[in-house]
Amino acid sequence: MLSTTTFDMTCIKATEGTHLYVKGEVTVRGKTKSVTGHYHLWETGSWHLGRSSQAQWEQNQSAYFPDHWNGSKFVSPSQNFQKEAREAMTVFVNEWARDNAEAFREAERKSLENQVKNARQDKREAEKTLQEASNNLLAALKTLQNFNS
Q: What is the DSSP letter of 66?
A: -
pLDDT value, residue 4: 61
Phi and psi at residue 42, in whole multiples of 5°? -90, 170
pTM comes to 0.66
CA–CA separation, 37 and 63 (whole Å): 4
Kindly report which listed range (26-30, 38-42, 128-132) carries the lowest average pLDDT score: 26-30
Is 108 a residue whose pLDDT tops 80?
no
pLDDT value, residue 1: 37
Burial (0-12, 13-18, 19+ Cβ within 10 Å), 67: exposed
| Confidence category of residue 86, pLDDT binned at 50, 70, 90 | very high
Of the two residues 75 and 6, the one the predictor is more confident about is 75
pLDDT value, residue 138: 95
Is 3 a residue whose pLDDT tops 90?
no
Is 48 a residue whose pLDDT tops 50?
yes
Average pLDDT over residues 66-87: 90
- 76-93 burial, b at 16+ Cβ within 10 Å, e below that, comes to ebeeebbbbbbbbbbebb
Is 54 a residue whose pLDDT tops 80?
yes
Is 50 a residue whose pLDDT tops 60?
yes
Is 104 a residue whose pLDDT tops 80?
no
Is 2 a residue whose pLDDT tops 80?
no
Is 118 a residue whose pLDDT tops 80?
yes
Average pLDDT over residues 76-103: 89
Mean pLDDT for the chain overall: 88
Q: What is the DSSP string of 121-142?
A: HHHHHHHHHHHHHHHHHHHHHH
